[in-house]
Amino acid sequence: MNQLRKSARLATSLMLAAICATSGASAGTLGQASPPPLVLSPNLTEPWILQLQPSGRLRERRPTVQRRMRDDARPYRTARTQNPAKVAPRQIDPRFLPTIVEYTGKHKPGTIIVDTVERYLYLVQRDGTARRYGVGVGKPGFEWAGTHKVTRKAEWPDWRPPAEMRKRRPDLPAHMAGGPQNPLGARALYLGSTLYRIHGSNQPWTIGHAVSSGCIRMRNEDVTDLYERVGVGTRVHVI
């Protein structure tokens, strides 16, 4: 602040000196050319004149800079996501997962029993228990019951839709090679001379429902396990 006052006084003194010098020259040198007026250098007067404010404070003049928000400095907005309930994969009802249950029925060990009402398949064991698996069964109009034997087993079976099915579904192929996309899944147990099979499925969420054209569906993991436990000639009761 003292420096500011000293500088202001200096500027005022110089201006007064210039006025006096000009007046004196005009009075004492009549008939002679007047000398040019004293002009103070702008770099001496301008900074102090411009910087003096009514408040008495010294303010620094800074160039105005227009700030632009960088793309990476913008507030982050999370992307809109789909409803988790819609994107979550469909799963089998846990009550249709494999388990061991007690068995006191009349069928011999090694027999397969399919309960189409409860949607369970049982494999009778020798220790008074049965291995129970969830299954999908025939939809309304395609229910059936009976006793047959396993006449053939196949891994990753080909699929040849019956003529009756292709008549109902003209979009079906005449033949589909075995594989993960094949509706018969990983394994198949063929029942007698019928068109029915116990087979896997690439739609595990259908287990526990009436969805097929009469075949007994299982998860691929479950039908593979059953496939290893039974052989050709195994008796199958569908009730």
User: What is the residue-averaged pLDDT of the chain?
Assistant: 77
- Among 33-37, 140-144, 164-168, name the most confident range: 140-144
Active site residue 199: yes
Which structure tokens are listed for 238? 């569908």
Instruction: Give the model's pLDDT for residue 51.
Output: 45
Q: What is the pLDDT of residues 64-95, one digit of tens each?
A: 444 443 333 333 333 333 444 444 457 889 99
More confident site: 160 or 190: 190
Exactly one of 148, 175, 215, 237 is catalytic; name it: 215
* Whether this model's pTM surpasses 0.85: no
Mean pLDDT value of segment 171-198: 92
For the chain, what's the residue count? 239
Instruction: Give the model's pLDDT for residue 163.
Output: 83
Q: How far apart are CA 55 and CA 211, in angstroms?
A: 89
Exactly one of 20, 148, 175, 199 is catalytic; name it: 199
What CATH number has the domain spanning 94-238? 2.40.440.10
Q: What is the pLDDT of residues 127-164, one digit of tens each?
A: 999 999 999 999 999 999 999 999 999 999 998 888 88
Every domain of the chain and the residues it spans:
2-27+37-62, 94-238
**Residue 239: pLDDT band with limits 50, 70, 90:** very high
Contact between residue 100 and residue 131 where contact means Cβ atoms under 8 Å apart: yes
Residues 6+ apart with CB under 8 A from 161: 169, 172, 173, 174
DSSP β-ladder status, 216-217 and 210-212: unpaired
Instruction: Give the model's pLDDT for residue 138.
Output: 96
pLDDT greater than 80 at residue 193: yes
Active site residue 148: no
CA angle 138, 148, 134 (to 5 degrees): 45
Q: How far apart are CA 120 and CA 227, in angstroms?
A: 16
Q: What is the pLDDT of residues 12-21, one digit of tens each?
A: 555 555 544 4
Instruction: Go through 85-117 and write b for each residue having 16 or more CB atoms within 10 A of its CB, e for each that does not.
Output: eeeeeeebeeebebeeeebeeeeeeebbbbebe
**Percent of the chain whose pLDDT exceeds 70:** 63
